[in-house]
């Protein structure tokens, strides 16, 4: 008896038909093609076969979020999910200064950018945490830790281990829970 290969075929036509059928994710496409799961190899194959699949899936997601009349979905899980996905742009709220002492794509850099935006007036620690939390969508505990690292450099140069290199370029003055950023001049570095 000859064994038959029941492995689904990954063709451009098959993938496009899966998208037309309403797939909203790469895993959804894989399942509609007949795969049991969307392993990374399968997903990479789908992307390689149809390079613009992300934009096609995004169109399906947009169609899912509106009904036939074009109205937004009623309040419920889908509506809440959509609100969470639309986090504010970091460049719109707090532009990333060129003197950022952390990797620009890191959470520390964003917390520092918020602190930097308030360098003239200062900011309270709870306000800094709430603004950072609104941007990052991280849990409270993670936001508090990131802010604690960013505000750790003292005037004497001591700081949290994760901010040790950054501490050469700034320090934070604390008056109770009010924070003021001080940049170290290039001559003192």
Domains of the chain: 12-85 (no CATH), 90-188 (1.10.10)
CA distances from 44 to 21, 37, 102, 117, 143 (A): 20, 13, 32, 41, 33
**pLDDT digit string, tens, across residues 142-169:** 999 999 999 999 888 888 888 888 888 8
**pLDDT digit string, tens, across residues 80-112:** 333 333 344 444 467 788 788 888 888 898 998
Q: Please state, in angstroms and rounded to a whole number, the distance separating the CA atoms of residues 116 and 133.
A: 16
Please state the pTM of the whole predicted model: 0.50
For the chain, the straight-line distance linking the first and the last C-alpha, in angstroms and rounded, comes to 78
């Amino acid at each position: 008896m000859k064994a038959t290969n029941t492995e689904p075929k990954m063709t451009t036509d098959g993938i496009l038909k899966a998208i037309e059928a309403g797939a909203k994710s790469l895993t959804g496409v894989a399942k509609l093609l007949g795969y049991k799961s969307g392993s990374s190899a399968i997903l990479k194959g789908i992307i390689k076969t149809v390079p613009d699949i992300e934009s096609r899936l995004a169109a399906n997601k947009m169609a899912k979020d509106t009904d036939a009349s074009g109205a937004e979905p009623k309040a419920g899980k889908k509506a809440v999910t959509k609100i969470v996905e639309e986090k504010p742009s970091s460049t719109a709220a707090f532009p990333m200064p060129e003197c950022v002492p952390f990797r620009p794509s890191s959470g520390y850099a964003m917390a520092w950018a918020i602190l930097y935006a308030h360098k003239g007036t200062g900011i309270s620690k709870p306000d800094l945490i709430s603004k950072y939390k609104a941007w990052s969508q991280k849990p409270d505990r993670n936001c508090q830790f990131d802010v604690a690292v960013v505000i750790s450099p003292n005037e004497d140069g001591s700081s949290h281990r994760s901010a040790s290199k950054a501490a050469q370029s700034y320090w934070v003055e604390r008056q109770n829970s009010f924070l003021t950023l001080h940049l170290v001049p290039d001559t003192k570095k």
